[in-house]
């Protein structure tokens, strides 16, 4: 694979495992940041959360400023052949945040400026995060704190070149139609950017390889990397040549570089599959008072489902030394353990394909988005009172049908989620394994998924998260 | 331009001006259909519309079955730097209709099966329409009529190959978040399809050339043709070679075939432009009772604005001999005259670019969509009580800045709109004319727009309409 010829600097960076720092140096830096900052996060009843109130009429949870976010109730009705309906708490945060990497070339290779950032819901306090994560409340300084560092690279005119700039959805099962702006802005080679010890430069390839450490790379990094679409010159990237090797990363590269004509389904067929799905489904989601949500109760300062399944809304009190403000309280969502994001892959017609589902979620902008093969928490199905386990969970439960190519536990965003982790799994199925696909599944090349990722409201955050784990280097 | 080498059959068909029938034969056929069917459409007060009721409490207009569509009120608030707000009537039709062409190859060239179809709002009764236009109410036979002919080619499994299948928006100023499924399905060459005299086979190129006749080609044809994205092999279509000629259609071809790398702005830059616009704008549109809409009144059986501007809601009583049912009554939207859809084009860096605006409309799914350079009715601005004339209207008012390349009056869909016409204009600006662009404007190649057209919620119907007029043959 003559990748060195690529003029696409993001792609080249993804193919580079060595940067200004070695992986050991990066890990050492994160550990050091962890010890040099003092944090404390304590669970606190929602009823005693300083700065936050529970409305006596609605039960909705809001900050006294009216900003940040609200926890409200949601009534959901999804109609296909049958009608599914339920109620649940939902985060209402009607503003578009910014998730951005500043990028710059060093030694000829594009590096991303990453931050060792503390968030109250992180199991290990500090995770490797994008240069900037900021809600509009943050950067318009509603909370009276400091303006987030580097935000000017994304909201003001400068010499940067935009490599990625997409509105992408957040979790459609937890947020009400929430989107963030996912950005990478490349500064000129001679630009001098000074930063504190909270920041380091690493390559895309390094960041992807760090995904194999549990809970180290922040979901917002994965969200941005999962939004990439390498603008490649296909002539420089003959597909197929890598497949004699058993190196999975070479198969990933060739799937990223594959011409659409060599995919199992051409683009018009994939579009039609998606359109037909959207036409068969109607989603009605309406806000209701949190107090009225059936099956959920405020119980000892925690909002939880009476079955103990799904998730809870908890309160935390935070002390930290290097955030915009020194201390604060807030609600967080705590999902139950055992979540799985599984991506099944298979070499089909000489090219690695991934098995994608069109997944309806109650609060997406447009009915459904492309999602990983499996996105579920099997524990929610144990009591047998609702639907059977989703399709294809069994593909990830043993190596009898293929080889596990990636396996790591990664977290939801610690600014809204408390110790919420999913096991991220990639399996490469045996070439001779035949799967019978439900109508909402489709085999696609990585190149085809990248085509969709360029447009808003197409690739859900869990799929972006697992896609970002597909490293292009060994 | 070695277009004959193209394997893309839609593109080849668009480059073919001769089909099974000559243009004269097609025109003759339409005229004949017009004389062989008896139609009568009479304006009738909304208050006496058989089968329809005006709710005494809300003033909303609905069919007694609860199906088809409702005319309700809309409260709009659009926030950018400033806040714009207004109220208006809106069509609420929460179901996805089907607009589809059946296609088949004759003499090696793809033809589309078009229908000479009567609709009550058409100025000349009959227009050349897609093979099928059907609301869900139609094809589920709510009205008790016949099932629309050929609908099975689009909703049932058959041997057809899907060439286009996209959810595309309808008018975001008239419909509440309405989308239709735009389809082209190609049947195998040896398939035998029988049809009545209401149908004929014509090439894409023929259909595009017929756009120059006033009110002849139906908006739904233009909607589908404007959703096309030719899957071209760029090596076969060197750009630039056509530009020594003054033939505009050759410039159009080369812009459709242009490599993104040769466009004025690369794709990441165009995406970023669009994302930034979306982040700066918030649209809040809420249904309200029609009775409460400020400035609008039911007056002698017509709902109209007190200024006489914008549009009215009128009632009609219809008699026809070849529709699913023999006669019916319904409300229609009558826009005031003088609407303009104008597309400015210019050769920039050797490639024809078009000037696109990101246009906010109150009822789009995602804030704004790509729109033509100008989409407005200047008459609405004459009284001077609201905003100044939109940008660039003057480009279409004389030939001093360039050459008018297309000029034809075309209608809105006659099933919902009564004698509502817009002048469709394409101007090719002089190469040395410099335009200062407002932030919501961007130069794009036709290839780039086609990239967007492949995805839902990206290209508005007025832009699709004018794009469909850009013929690829002389």
Out of A311-315, A448-452, B85-89, B144-148, pick the least confident: B144-148
pLDDT (tens digit per residue) in B430-471:
999 999 999 999 999 999 999 999 998 999 999 999 999 999
Q: Please tell me the distance from the alpha carbon of residue B196 to that of residue B149, in angstroms, as a whole number.
A: 10
A1 touches chain B (CB under 8 A): no
Question: Any chain B CB within 8 A of the CB of A79?
Answer: no
Q: Percentage of chain A with pLDDT > 90?
A: 81
Q: Which residue has the higher pLDDT, B194 or B146?
A: B194
Query: What pLDDT shows up at residue A413?
Result: 96
Q: Where are the beta strands (DSSP E) in A278-310?
A: 282-288, 296-299, 302-305
Q: Residue A35's pLDDT band (boundaries 50, 70, 90)?
A: confident
The CA distance from A71 to A55, in Å, is: 11
In chain B, how long is the greatest CA-to-CA distance? 65
Tell me whether the CATH fold assigned to B5-40+94-242 matches the one assigned to B260-283+337-467: yes
Would you call A275 and B181 a contact, using CB atoms and an 8 Å cutoff?
Answer: yes
Residue A334's beta-bridge partner residues?
A312
H or E segment and range at residue A400: none
Q: Which residue of A has its CA nearest to B278?
A: A167
Q: Which CATH class is domain A260-283+337-467?
A: alpha beta
User: pLDDT value at position B245?
Assistant: 62
Show the tokens assigned to B420: 């509502």
CATH topology of domain A5-40+94-242: Nucleoside Triphosphate Pyrophosphohydrolase (3.90.79)
Probe site for chain A from B110, B167, B277, B369 (most A CB atoms < 10 A): B167
Q: Of A176-180, A200-204, B317-321, which range is least confident?
A: B317-321
DSSP output for A217-277: B-HHHHHHHTT------GGGS-SSGGGGS--HHHHHHHHHH--GGGSSS-HHHHHHHHHHH
3-class SS of residue A192: coil
Work out the minimum CA distance from B246 to partner chain A, whole angstroms.
32
Residue A142 has what pLDDT?
61
Q: Let me know how long chain A is.
A: 474
Q: Check CB contact under 8 Å for A457 and B454.
A: no
Q: Which residues of A touch B260 (CB under 8 A)?
A: 231
| Distance (Å, whole) CA A193 – CA A207 | 20
Q: How many whole angstroms from its chain centre is CA B111?
A: 20
Shortest alpha-carbon distance between residue A270 and chain B (Å): 9
C-alpha dist (Å) from residue A14 to A252, A454, A471: 12, 18, 7
Output the furthest CA–CA distance in chain A (Å, rounded). Answer: 65
Q: What is the pLDDT of residue B240?
A: 47
B366 interfacial to chain A (CB closer than 8 Å): yes
B-chain residue closest to A155, CA distance: B276
Its pTM stands at: 0.94
At B262, is the pLDDT very low, low, confident or very high (cuts 50, 70, 90)? very high
Count the neighbouring beta carbons within 10 Å of the beta carbon of residue A124: 15
CA separation, residue A318 to residues A122, A129, A252, B162 (Å): 12, 19, 41, 55
Smallest Cβ distance to B166: which of A167, A271, A365?
A271
Q: What is the pLDDT of residue B445?
A: 98
**CA dihedral for A233, A239, A241, A242, sign (positive or negative):** positive
Element (H, E) at A137: helix A136-139
To 5 degrees, how large is the angle CA A236–CA A240–CA A243? 125
Q: CA torsion sign, A11 to A17 to A18 to A20?
A: positive
**pLDDT of the residue at A81:** 83
Residue with tokens 């603008």: A231
Query: Which tokens in the block code for residue A102?
Result: 């500043």
What are the structure tokens assigned to A170, written together? Answer: 């957040």
- Where residue A16 falls among pLDDT bands split at 50, 70, 90? very high
- Alpha helices for A16-126 (secondary structure H): 23-36
From A323-337, A368-382, A400-414, the region with the lowest mean pLDDT: A323-337
Give the integer Cα–Cα distance in Å for B377 and B334: 13
Whether the CB of B165 is below 8 Å from some CB of chain A: the reply is yes
Instruction: Write phi, then psi, for A380 (nearest 5 degrees).
Output: -70, -15
Distance CA B307, CA B309 (A): 5
CA A346-A351-A352 angle, to 5 degrees, is 35
Residues 6 or more apart whose CB falls under 8 angstroms from that of A212 comprise A406, A408, A469
Å from A279 to nearest chain B CA? 7
Phi, psi of A322 (to 5 degrees): -125, 30
Q: CB-CB: which of B164, B455, B458 is closest to A268?
A: B164
Q: Point out the least confidently predicted range of A2-6, A424-428, A451-455, B353-357.
A: A2-6
Burial class (CB in 10 A: 0-12, 13-18, 19+), A346: buried
| Nearest-by-CA chain A residue for B165 | A272
Beta strands in B119-189 (DSSP E): 126-129, 132-134, 161-169, 179-186
Structure tokens at A380: 């929610």
The reported pLDDT for the residue numbered B180 is 97
Name chain B contacts of A278, Cβ cutoff 8 Å: 96, 167, 456
For residue B14, what are the contacts with CB-CB under 8 A and spacing of at least 6? B203, B204, B205, B208, B228, B230, B471, B472, B473
Which 8-state DSSP code applies to residue A382? Answer: T
User: At B444, is the secondary structure helix, strand, or coil?
Assistant: strand
Angstroms from B162 CA to nearest CA on chain A: 6
Across the strands, what pairs with B87? Answer: B75
The rounded Cα A65 to chain-centroid distance in angstroms is 28
List Cβ neighbours of A265 (8 Å cut-off, separation of 6 or more).
A273, A442, A443, A444
Q: Is the pLDDT of residue A1 over 50?
A: no
* Cα Rg of chain B (Å, integer): 22
| % of chain B beyond a pLDDT of 70 | 93
On whether the CB atoms of residues B419 and B43 are closer than 8 A, the answer is: no
Q: Where are the domains of chain B?
A: 5-40+94-242, 41-90+287-335, 260-283+337-467
Nearest one of B448, B285, B434 to B351, comparing CA atoms: B448
Residues 89-118 of A with CB under 8 A from B: 96
Q: Which residues of B touch A96 (CB under 8 A)?
A: 278-279
Residues A52/A65, Cβ–Cβ less than 8 Å: no
CB-CB neighbours of B80 under 10 Å: 13
Distance CA(A167)–CA(A95), nearest Å, equals 12
């Amino acid at each position: 694979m003559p990748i060195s010829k690529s003029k696409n600097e993001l792609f080249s960076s993804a193919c580079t495992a060595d940067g200004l720092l070695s992986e050991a140096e990066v890990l050492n830096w994160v550990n050091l940041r962890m010890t040099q900052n003092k944090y404390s996060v304590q669970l606190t009843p929602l009823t005693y959360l300083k700065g936050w109130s529970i409305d006596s009429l609605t039960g909705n949870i809001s900050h006294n400023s009216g900003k940040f976010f609200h926890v409200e109730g949601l009534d959901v009705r999804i109609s296909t052949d049958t009608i599914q309906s339920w109620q649940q708490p939902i985060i209402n945060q009607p503003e578009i945040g910014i998730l951005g990497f500043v990028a710059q070339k060093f030694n000829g290779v594009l590096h991303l400026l990453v931050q060792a950032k503390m968030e109250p819901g992180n199991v290990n306090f500090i995770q490797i995060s994008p240069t900037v994560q900021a809600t509009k409340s943050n950067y318009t300084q509603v909370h009276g704190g400091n303006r987030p560092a580097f935000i000017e690279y994304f909201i003001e005119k400068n010499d940067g070149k935009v490599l990625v700039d997409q509105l992408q959805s957040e979790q459609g099962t937890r947020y009400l139609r929430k989107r963030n702006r996912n950005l990478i802005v490349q500064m000129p080679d001679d630009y001098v950017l000074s930063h504190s010890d909270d920041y380091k430069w690493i390559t895309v390839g390094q960041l992807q390889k760090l995904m194999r450490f549990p809970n180290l790379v922040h979901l917002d990094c994965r969200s941005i990397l999962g939004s990439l679409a390498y603008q490649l010159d296909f002539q420089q990237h003959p597909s197929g040549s890598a497949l004699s090797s058993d190196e999975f990363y070479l198969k990933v590269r060739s799937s990223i570089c594959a011409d659409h004509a060599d995919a199992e389904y051409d683009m018009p067929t994939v579009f039609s599959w998606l359109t037909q799905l959207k036409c068969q489904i109607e989603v009605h989601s309406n806000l209701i008072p949190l107090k009225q949500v059936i099956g959920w109760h405020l119980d000892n300062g925690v909002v939880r489902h009476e079955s103990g399944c799904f998730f809870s809304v908890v309160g935390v009190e935070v002390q930290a030394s290097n955030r915009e403000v020194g201390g604060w309280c807030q609600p967080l969502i705590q999902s139950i353990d055992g979540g799985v994001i599984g991506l099944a892959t298979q070499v089909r017609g000489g090219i690695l394909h991934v098995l994608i589902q069109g997944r309806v979620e109650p609060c997406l902008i447009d009915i459904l988005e492309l999602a990983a093969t499996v996105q579920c928490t099997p524990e929610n199905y144990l009591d047998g009172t609702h639907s059977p386990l989703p399709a294809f969970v069994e593909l990830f439960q043993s190596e009898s049908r293929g080889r596990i190519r990636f396996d790591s536990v990664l977290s939801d965003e610690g600014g809204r989620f408390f110790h919420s982790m999913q096991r991220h799994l990639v399996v490469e199925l045996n070439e001779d394994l035949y799967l019978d696909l439900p109508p909402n599944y489709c085999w696609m090349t990585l190149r085809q998924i990248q085509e969709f990722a360029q447009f808003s409201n197409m690739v859900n955050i869990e799929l972006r998260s697992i896609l970002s784990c597909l490293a292009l280097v060994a």
